[in-house]
């Protein structure tokens, strides 16, 4: 990447980490109501394998969190 190019992917990830609650309320208002935003953890880029096809895929943004007043964890996956 040259000096004059903007790393849009990195900037998008930073914005999403900073404004995750606002992103959820704007685009997914029902899910926003259920998520406990006190328990957000942004995970590193993950790689998973499609067992039926044998293909490897990279997940850009994945957030570990909880639902309000529910046990256990959920994962929120966002692809720009």
Average pLDDT, the chain: 85
User: Which residue carries 């044998």 as its tokens?
Assistant: 54
Residue 56: alpha-carbon gap to chain centroid: 19
- What DSSP string describes 29-53? HHHHHHEEEEEEEEEPPEEEEETTT
With pLDDT > 70 as the criterion, what percentage of the chain qualifies? Answer: 85
- Does the pLDDT of residue 45 top 80, yes or no? no
For the full predicted model, state whether its pTM sits above 0.75: no
The full set of domain ranges for the chain reads 8-78
Q: Report residue 67: phi and psi, to 5°.
A: -90, 150
Buried b (16+ CB within 10 A) or exposed e, 32-43: beebeeeeeeee
């Amino acid at each position: 990447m040259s000096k004059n190019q903007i790393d849009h992917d990195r900037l998008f990830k930073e914005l999403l980490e900073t404004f995750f609650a606002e992103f959820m309320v704007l685009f997914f208002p029902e899910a926003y109501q259920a998520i406990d935003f006190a328990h957000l953890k942004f995970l590193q880029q993950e790689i998973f394998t499609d067992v039926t096809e044998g293909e490897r895929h990279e997940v850009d943004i994945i957030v570990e969190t909880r639902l309000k007043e529910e046990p256990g964890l959920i994962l929120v996956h966002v692809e720009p």
